[in-house]
């Protein structure tokens, strides 16, 4: 389903953290939201899944305005792999994945065959079957991330939102997780820190800077040296990756031309 973010603004306290952002994500696309720390990426994503309320603008998924959709119905429209989690719970990983079925099970009924199948399928997709019986709190960061992704997949929502899904993962786990996310058929929005990950996997890249959308388009067109210098304060170049023979974005510090001796601080 198509996700439309229409002139969205979010204020936290007195600060406008997301400022008049407008993005259309076409059906089936993977949008990478990138930007430096504090640029409003996570807040934008949290506004899309309803954890913070925007002060202006709207979000619609498949033409349905999320502001007028009840919580349970919204959970069928978007699943989320959030960044914040209380890992210190006594639940098994399997039960954690099972919470993804919350919107499918009526409060008066029990889990049905379809719910069990959805959980099993999600665990298989994320390669987390052997983690299921373990206590969630005993899992490593990467294992937890797989379980949270499985939870989101078990939700069987029309779209998927991910907040820095590769955080705290080792290199292998990062590659595996991104490959899996990239292979999913639904519309996805992922907040990413790594510019090369955006270049390699995303169909679209939206660049936030101080809450404003400064560029949005195919990553190869958006991620120019001028943009990374202006927004991230790093120079960048796209080279051919010697192992994969694919474009690879590398970064380097900005060369300072305005001074003599380097700043001691």
Partner 1 sequence: MPHTPTPFEPVRTRAPLGLWIGALGIGLGLVAVLGVCVGSVFIAVPEVWDVLAARTQGRVNSPVLNDTIIWEYRIPRVIAAITVGAGLTVSGVALQGLVRNPLADPYIVGVSSGASLGAVLIMVLGSGALLGLPTSAGAFLGAIGVLALVFLFAQQRGAFADSRLVLAGVAIGYVATAATSFIQLQARPGQLSGILFWSLGSVAGARWDALAIPVAVILACVAWLATKGRTLNALSLGDDAAVAVGVHLRSARLMLLIIAALCTAVTVALAGGVGFVGLIVPHAARMLVGADHRRLLPVAALLGAVFVVLIDLVARTIGSPQEFPLTIFTALIGGPFFLALMRRQRAV
Binding site for partner 1 (CB under 8 A): 46, 49-51, 70-76, 79-86, 89-92, 94-96, 98-103, 105, 107-108, 111, 116, 119-120, 123, 129-130, 132-135, 148, 151-152, 155
Task: Tell me whether residue 25 or residue 75 sits nearer to partner 1 (CB atom).
Answer: 75
What is the closest distance, in whole angstroms, from the C-beta atom of residue 89 to partner 1 in the complex? 5
Question: Nearest to residue 151, comparing CAs of 75, 202, 88?
Answer: 75
Task: Tell me whether residue 156 or residue 228 sits nearer to partner 1 (CB atom).
Answer: 156
What is the closest distance, in whole angstroms, from the C-beta atom of residue 86 to partner 1 in the complex? 4
Task: Tell me whether residue 105 or residue 214 sits nearer to partner 1 (CB atom).
Answer: 105
What is the closest distance, in whole angstroms, from the C-beta atom of residue 259 to partner 1 in the complex? 44
Task: Tell me whether residue 149 or residue 216 sits nearer to partner 1 (CB atom).
Answer: 149
Task: Tell me whether residue 59 or residue 223 sits nearer to partner 1 (CB atom).
Answer: 59
Task: Tell me whether residue 154 or residue 205 sits nearer to partner 1 (CB atom).
Answer: 154
CA distance linking residue 207 with residue 183, whole number of Å: 23
CA distance linking residue 159 with residue 188, whole number of Å: 6
What is the closest distance, in whole angstroms, from the C-beta atom of residue 5 to partner 1 in the complex? 18
Query: Which two tokens mark 55?
Result: 């002060």
User: Taking phi first (over 0 means left), then psi (-120 to 50 degrees means alpha), and beta for anything else, what does residue 13 get?
Assistant: left
Q: Cα dihedral angle (145, 147, 149, 153), rounded to 10 degrees?
A: 180
What is the closest distance, in whole angstroms, from the C-beta atom of residue 230 to partner 1 in the complex? 31
Task: Tell me whether residue 86 or residue 256 sits nearer to partner 1 (CB atom).
Answer: 86
Residue 118 phi, psi dihedral angles, 5° rounding: -60, -40
What is the closest distance, in whole angstroms, from the C-beta atom of residue 57 to partner 1 in the complex? 19
What is the closest distance, in whole angstroms, from the C-beta atom of residue 233 to partner 1 in the complex? 29
């Amino acid at each position: 389903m198509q996700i439309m973010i229409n002139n969205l603004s979010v204020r936290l306290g007195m600060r406008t953290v997301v400022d008049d952002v407008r993005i259309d994500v076409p059906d089936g696309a993977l949008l990478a939201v990138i930007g430096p720390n504090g640029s409003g990426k996570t807040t934008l994503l949290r506004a899309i899944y309803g954890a913070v309320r925007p002060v202006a603008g709207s979000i619609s998924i498949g033409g349905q305005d999320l502001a007028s959709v009840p919580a349970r119905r919204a959970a069928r429209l978007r699943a989320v792999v959030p960044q914040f989690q209380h890992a210190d719970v006594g639940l098994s990983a399997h039960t954690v994945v099972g919470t993804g079925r919350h919107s499918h099970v009526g409060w008066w009924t029990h889990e049905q065959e379809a719910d069990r199948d959805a959980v099993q399928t999600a665990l298989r997709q994320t390669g987390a079957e052997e983690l299921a019986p373990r206590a969630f709190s005993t899992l490593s960061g990467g294992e937890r991330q797989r379980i949270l992704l499985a939870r989101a997949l078990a939700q069987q929502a029309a779209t998927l939102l991910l907040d820095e899904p590769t955080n705290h993962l080792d290199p292998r786990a990062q590659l595996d997780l991104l490959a899996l996310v990239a292979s999913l058929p639904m519309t996805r929005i992922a907040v990413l820190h790594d510019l090369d990950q955006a270049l390699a996997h995303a169909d679209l890249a939206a660049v936030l800077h101080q809450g404003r959308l400064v560029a949005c388009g195919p990553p190869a067109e958006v991620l120019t040296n001028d943009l990374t210098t202006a927004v991230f304060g790093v120079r960048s170049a796209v080279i051919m990756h010697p192992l994969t023979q694919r474009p690879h974005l590398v970064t380097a510090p900005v060369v300072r031309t305005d001074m003599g001796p380097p700043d001691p601080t």
